């Protein structure tokens, strides 16, 4: 009990509490704004926590993780469009009809209160799980931990989309990207392209996450054009919404349980499970889909309880089940904390700090939303063309903080380009990121297992066979039942010619795996074994996917292409994705010519002039405001932004130098 109250005192100390509040504010903003989401929002702050006080960094990350789903409610209810978190899609079904008939405040109030109780419930379950898991986890050896980690990434691959093969390919490529740089056992360099020794330290997590998640969503946002909504009013009924939650308290409890369970498994879609449960168990059910407040309460209870469940495998075993918890795990490592058995041992106080931060963040998030929902709603009336350059500024700034090198920005844009195709063809980006984050841990456990155990000794441990069995069941379930979770692409009947872009993408992935093998072929056994095994498995999965796509075409689960639908004019996009990707590469080129700060200002003016037809006052105001913001960061955080060719020829004033 002493450690529980000691961790509470740490969280309530002025410095830590301030960072918790900052994290809550960032999380709410990320939730309401499209294109970012929890994973990208977490990735933005990870570079800034390096060197930060341990408790403060943990509090800020937990604050973001806890409340993105709460901020997501605003756009879902008022505009019928999920925000950055995309976890309130089920809430939208009944919340938006309520807003249209003037009950927006009631729906928001019910959502906020249900979210708060769900989040607190998730934190309570996490507390119990830590106590129960402690004796079990401490009995695990390296062999069991290796198989448990493999089980985790297998489940993510199987359950993160409708195609097992795509999930395994995504995870395999993520593991290979994570293996770039020095081998942990020998220090030998792997997959270094030419003389680009920037890669010798590995690829930066922030640039990978922002490129994979944020840039494709920003491109999608810009392609849709107009503002999210032109509906600023909320209406009344704040107290009535809170009373609705109290009247349906057992529904809140049941759906919170669903959220925790789904969160602990890398399945996703807890809000849909909860919504379906509400429809099946609540009477009368005729009003569901037409504006029933219970259709808001159920998914929101599950949404915020989900975070507590997701942290159970992340903290106890060091196995994240989603992109956001993968970033959270990476942030803990940056702070000098390695998730796993130590979190229930010598780092138990840190674990309870996370739990208290999770509970308090949900209370703070709900309270803040009650106060500022009107202001948050007005953000959704901003035109996408104005919002895009601001979001790109945030992404480039966040990526650049990884190592403050040009390589960070190159990786951001290159991975963003690849991320467009992951999104287009329905490949699991969370599976890629989980593989990337866990690579170092898996490789280290592989080396340790090879050193500590012979094959006979390893196979004589009963728990090894149990874990082998669970992995086999997960793979069988993925092949046999293929969960029909909505993927990131769109499944339509395709002709053989229309599948050509997917074959080209598969060929590019195959070349990546082949290059990985080629780059380690002359290294020592310990330097090459991990890369060769993962690349080999990935190539087999690519071959299976290509055969399925060629043999069955439109009947194949591999046949996903959202751009084929765009060409048919069915998804509301105005222009192709490459149009805005060219703008992003143009921004990178401009920065190379004139430096980071000046390049960003020129880009904002050019983009608003050509794409938004904005007035000069708006263009100059946004460019000057962005420059002032970057100058402030440079002064306060002692950031030296990248210089371009121009700075080598001409002496420029601060902050352009």
- Average pLDDT over the chain reads 80
Gap between the Cα atoms of 510 and 508, Å rounded: 5
What is the pTM assigned to this prediction? 0.77
For residue 646, give Cα distances in angstroms to 63, 313, 568, 590, 639.
41, 50, 45, 10, 19
pLDDT number for residue 485: 39
Query: Considering just the CA atoms, what is the radius of gyration of the chain in Å?
Result: 24
The predicted structure's pLDDT at residue 336: 84
Q: Between these two residues, 446 and 44, which has the higher pLDDT value?
A: 446
The pLDDT of residue 487 is above 50? no
Position 284 pLDDT exceeds 50: yes
In angstroms, the CA 155 to CA 554 distance is 26
Is residue 484 very low, low, confident or very high in pLDDT (cuts 50, 70, 90)? very low
What is the average pLDDT across 210-234?
72
Residue with tokens 């006052």: 617
Cα 233 to Cα 111, 203, 236, 380, 381, distances in angstroms = 17, 45, 10, 12, 11
Question: Residue 267's CB: how many other CB atoms inside 10 A?
Answer: 19
Contact of 7 with 352, CB cutoff 8 Å:
yes
Instruction: Please report which residue ranges of 284-405 form alpha helices under DSSP H.
Output: 294-316, 323-334, 348-379, 384-400
Local structure of 20: helix, strand or coil? helix
Beta bridge partners of 189: 182
Q: What is the pLDDT of residue 525?
A: 85
pLDDT for res 311: 86
Tens of pLDDT, residues 116-133: 998 899 888 888 887 777
For the segment 72-113, what is each residue's pLDDT rounded down to a tens digit? 787 777 766 655 555 566 787 788 788 777 777 888 888 889
Structure tokens at 161: 């989309």
Selected residue with higher pLDDT from 571 and 346: 346
* pLDDT above 50: residue 486: no
- Give the span between the Cα atoms of 21 and 362, in whole angstroms: 11
Helix axes 294-316, 54-79, angle to 10 degrees: 150
Among the residue ranges 206-220, 275-289, 290-304, 478-492, the one predicted with the least confidence is: 478-492
98 closest CA partner among 278, 289, 243: 289
pLDDT on residue 406: 87
Close Cβ partners of 34 (under 8 Å, ≥ 6 residues apart): 75, 81, 82, 83, 84, 217, 221, 228
Quick: pLDDT tens for 136-168: 666 677 777 777 777 777 766 665 566 778 888
pLDDT per residue over 26-36, tens digit each? 888 877 765 56
Could you report the per-residue pLDDT of 183-198, keeping only the tens digit for each?
A: 887 778 888 876 667 7
pLDDT digits (tens, 9 = 90+) for 535-586: 999 999 999 988 888 876 656 667 777 776 555 445 555 677 888 999 999 9
pLDDT band for position 656 (cuts 50, 70, 90):
confident
DSSP assignment of 100-129: HTTBHHHHHHHHHHHHHHHHHHHHHHHHHH
Say if residues 84 and 71 touch (Cβ distance below 8 Å). Answer: yes
Helix (H) or strand (E) holding 540: helix 525-552
pLDDT at 416 over 90: yes
CA distances from 542 to 88, 136, 219 (A): 33, 37, 27
pLDDT tens profile 376-392: 666 556 777 888 888 88
pLDDT for 223 equals: 80
Q: Helix/strand/coil (H, E, C) string of 223-240?
A: HHCCCCCCCCCCECCHHH
Give 637's pLDDT tier (boundaries 50, 70, 90): low
């Amino acid at each position: 009990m002493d450690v529980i109250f000691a961790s509470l005192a740490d969280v309530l100390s002025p410095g830590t509490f301030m960072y918790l509040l900052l994290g809550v504010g960032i999380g709410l903003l990320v939730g309401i704004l499209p294109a970012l989401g929890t994973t990208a929002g977490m990735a933005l702050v990870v570079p800034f926590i390096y060197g930060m006080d341990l408790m403060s960094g943990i509090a800020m990350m937990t604050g973001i993780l806890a409340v993105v789903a709460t901020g997501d409610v605003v756009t879902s209810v008022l505009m019928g469009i999920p925000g950055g978190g995309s976890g309130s899609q089920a809430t939208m079904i009944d919340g938006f009809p309520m807003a249209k008939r003037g009950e927006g405040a009631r729906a928001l109030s019910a959502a906020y209160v249900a979210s708060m109780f769900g989040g607190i419930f998730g934190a309570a379950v996490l507390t119990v799980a830590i106590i129960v898991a402690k004796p079990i986890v401490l009995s695990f050896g390296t062999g069991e931990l290796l198989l448990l980690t493999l089980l985790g990434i297998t489940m993510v691959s199987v359950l993160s989309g409708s195609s097992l093969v795509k999930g395994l390919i995504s995870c395999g490529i993520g593991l290979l990207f994570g293996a770039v740089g020095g081998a942990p056992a020998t220090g030998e360099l792997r997959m270094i392209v030419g003389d680009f020794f920037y890669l010798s330290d590995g690829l930066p997590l922030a640039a990978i996450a922002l490129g994979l998640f944020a840039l494709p969503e920003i491109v999608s946002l810009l392609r849709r054009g107009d503002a999210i909504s032109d509906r600023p009013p909320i209406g009344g009924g704040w107290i009535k919404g809170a009373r609705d939650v109290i009247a349906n308290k057992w529904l809140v409890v049941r759906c919170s349980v669903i959220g925790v369970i789904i969160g602990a498994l890398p399945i996703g879609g807890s809000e849909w499970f909860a919504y379906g449960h509400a429809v099946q168990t609540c009477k009368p059910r005729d009003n569901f889909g037409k504006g029933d407040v219970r259709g808001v309460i159920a998914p929101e209870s599950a949404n915020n309880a989900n975070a507590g469940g997701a942290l159970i495998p992340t903290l106890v075993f060091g196995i994240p089940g989603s992109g956001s918890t993968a970033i959270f795990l990476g942030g803990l490592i940056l702070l000098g904390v390695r998730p796993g058995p130590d979190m229930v041992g010598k780092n138990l106080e840190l674990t309870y700090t996370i739990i208290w931060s999770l509970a308090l963040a949900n209370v703070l998030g709900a309270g803040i939303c009650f106060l500022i929902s009107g202001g948050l709603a007005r953000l959704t009336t901003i035109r996408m063309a104005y919002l895009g350059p601001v979001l790109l500024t945030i992404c480039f700034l966040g990526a650049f903080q990884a190592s403050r090198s040009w390589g960070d920005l190159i990786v951001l844009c290159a991975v963003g380009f690849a991320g467009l195709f992951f999104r287009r063809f329905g490949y699991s980006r969370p599976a890629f990121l989980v593989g990337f984050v866990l690579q170092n841990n898996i490789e280290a456990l592989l080396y340790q297992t090879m050193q500590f155990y012979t094959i006979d000794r390893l196979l004589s441990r009963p728990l090894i066979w149990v874990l082998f069995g669970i992995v086999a069941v997960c793979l069988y379930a993925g092949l046999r039942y293929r969960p029909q979770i909505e993927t990131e692409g769109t499944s339509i009947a395709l002709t053989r010619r229309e599948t050509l872009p997917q074959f080209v993408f598969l060929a590019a992935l195959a070349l990546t795996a082949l290059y990985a093998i080629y780059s380690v072929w002359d290294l020592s056994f310990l330097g090459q074994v991990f890369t060769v095994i993962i690349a080999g498995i990935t190539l087999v999965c690519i071959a299976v996917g290509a055969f399925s796509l060629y043999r069955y075409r439109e009947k194949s689960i591999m046949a996903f292409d959202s751009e084929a639908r765009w060409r048919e004019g069915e998804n509301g996009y105005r222009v192709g994705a490459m149009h805005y990707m060219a703008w992003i590469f143009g921004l990178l080129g401009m920065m190379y010519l004139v430096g980071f700060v000046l390049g960003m200002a020129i880009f904002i003016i050019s983009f608003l002039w050509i794409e938004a037809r904005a007035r000069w006052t708006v263009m100059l105001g946004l460019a000057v405001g962005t420059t002032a913001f970057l100058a402030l960061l440079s002064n306060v955080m002692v950031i030296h932004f990248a210089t371009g060719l121009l700075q080598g020829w001409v002496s420029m004033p601060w902050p352009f130098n």
